Amino acid sequence: MKIQHDISLKKYNTFGIEALASHFIEITTIQNLQEVLRQKGYRKKLVLSGGSNMLITNDLNALVIHINIKGITILSEEENHVILKIMAGENWHELVIWTINHNYGGLENLSLIPGNVGTSPIQNIGAYGVELKDCFESCEAMDISTQQIITFSKSDCQFGYRDSIFKNKGKGKYIITSVNLKLSKPPHRPNTSYGAIETELKKNNIDHPTIKDVSNAVISIRQKKLPDPAKLGNSGSFFKNPVITKDKFITFLDNNPDAPFYQISETAYKIPAAWLIEQCGFKGKRYGDAGVHKNQALVLVNYGNASGQEILRLANKIQDAVSTQFDIEISPEVNIIG
Ligand code: EPU
């Protein structure tokens, strides 16, 4: 275990933002994590996993703890399902491919989501009609103040849309060390209800898709719409889709009869933030090295040397424009750090 100093975080965040960590350590075991949390003398400690859901806005005067604990274990196997324990440092998409190669179903719609397993419960990652919570069993997390491992059941996690206890009451208190998922064994029942998946499968003349077919369809859709962080720095959706009340929705729809929307309850409606941002004229716009992606207005991108502050300024400008034009507040999905 070696603490390094003045380390560039550029390769540790998918936005590709250049920022220095005054102290940095890579963790590969639970014991190492306990030891480092017990170290005195570091006022601020910050956990970094896949770095796929954060915007770093300044150099960090902190001990940055990079979680790189690996391992996939089959905990139990029944006729219809398996339970896997996956350590936090495993790459999410590599896990999805591993499950498909072993013919375990449930994660196929979540193909190609950047980031690591340990951060997947924090925002309850979701795409194409499926959320992590749909196959989540439990997770283990280290309590930062006591260094004890605690198990969180699914209900303990209080999952919501891009939300969990780890973003609310538990924020800054725990480090997720592993996640247990319950996956199906054949026959699978893939979820192909999301329009774009149906269209993609039809295009390829697939009537009875396997989980691999669904994964391939999702990969193809994502590659068309979403930039590859290895080529163009980004953090996926920068904002959450806003949820508005029925009263507000009625006025909104009167003024914008062509707007897309999803009714999520008797009294609440979700509006795609990408649509609002596009209507404000930001899609494909570039300001220096900070920009809005040309195929998906919800994704902010770093063309090379944008600073975190530049991306943040663009985000604020977009929020102000959406608020002025639609009287709707949109809020970041990514964590703003620094
Ligand atoms: N739209 C636009 N302009 C655009 C893009 C989309 O007007 O540039 C409108 C269209 O009407 C479209 C609607 O927005 O029908 C929804 O677009 P899309 O299906 O691309 O989904 P999204 O709501 O923009 C969400 C997730 C994505 C996830 C997709 C697919 C959030 C914040 N984002 O995006 O998640 O991949 O659905 O399920 O919920 C991520 O979290 O990083 C992420 C990429």
**135-153 per-position pLDDT tens digit:** 999 999 999 999 999 999 9
Place of tokens 């991108």: 301
CA-nearest of 129, 131, 104 to 120 is 131
| Atom 32 of ligand 1: nearest residue by CA position | 240
| 162, 234, 278, 298: residue to mutate for ligand 1 pocket, most atoms within 8 A of CB | 298
CA distance 336 to 83: 34
Q: What residue ranges define each of the domains in the chain, with the CATH number in brackets?
A: 4-67 (3.30.43.10), 72-225 (3.30.465.10), 233-337 (3.90.78.10)
On the question of a cis peptide bond just before residue 187, with omega within 30 degrees of 0, the verdict is: yes
Nearest CA to ligand 1 atom 11: 260
Atom 10 of ligand 1: nearest residue by CA position: 275
Distance in Å from the first CA to the final CA of the chain: 25
Exposure b/e, 212-236, CB count within 10 A at least 16 = b? bbbbbbbbbbbeeebbebeebbbbb
272 CA distance to ligand 1 centroid (A)?
Answer: 7
Residue 22 to residue 136: CA distance in whole angstroms: 36
- Which residues, at least 6 apart from 250, have a Cβ–Cβ distance to it below 8 Å? none
For ligand 1, atom 33, which residue shows the shortest CA distance? 237
Q: Which two tokens stand for residue 119?
A: 């951060």
Are 322 and 328 within 8 A, CB to CB? yes
pTM of the predicted model as reported, rounded to 2 decimal places: 0.94
The H or E element that residue 292 is part of is: strand 290-292
Type of residue at 333: E
CA–centroid distance, residue 127 to ligand 1 (Å): 9
Beta bridge partners of 175: 142
**Checking phi first, is residue 327 left (phi over 0); if not, alpha (psi -120 to 50) or beta?**
left
Q: Do 86 and 107 touch, CB atoms closer than 8 A?
A: no
Give the residue whose CA is nearest to atom 34 of ligand 1: 237
Name residues contacting ligand 1 (CB within 6 A).
Answer: 127-128, 225-226, 236-237, 240-241, 260, 272, 274-275, 278, 283, 296-298, 333
Q: What is the pLDDT of residues 73-92, one digit of tens each?
A: 999 999 999 999 999 999 99
- According to DSSP, residue 256 is labeled -
Q: How far is the CA of 30 from the centre of ligand 1 (A)?
A: 36
> What average pLDDT does the structure give for the chain?
97
* pLDDT one-digit tens code per residue, 5-28: 999 999 999 999 999 999 999 999
The two most distant CA atoms of the chain are separated, in Å, by 61
Tell me the pLDDT tens digit for each residue of 172-216.
999 999 999 999 999 999 999 999 999 999 999 999 999 999 999
237, 292, 295, 331, best to mutate for ligand 1 pocket (most atoms within 8 Å of CB): 237
pLDDT at 226: 96
Distance 275 CA to ligand 1 centre (A): 9
Q: 92 and 125 in contact (C-beta within 8 Å)?
A: yes
Instruction: Give the pLDDT confidence score for residue 1 in this predicted structure.
Output: 75
Which atom in ligand 1 lies closest to the alpha carbon of residue 272? Answer: 14
pLDDT at 165 over 90: yes
Q: Report the helix count and the strand count for the chain, using DSSP H and E.
A: 8, 20
- Distance from C-alpha of 55 to C-alpha of 13, rounded to nearest angstrom: 8
- Looking at ligand 1, which atom is closest to the CA of residue 194? 38
Q: How far is CA 31 from CA 27, 35, 67, 147, in A?
A: 9, 6, 12, 10
Q: What's the pLDDT score for residue 143?
A: 97
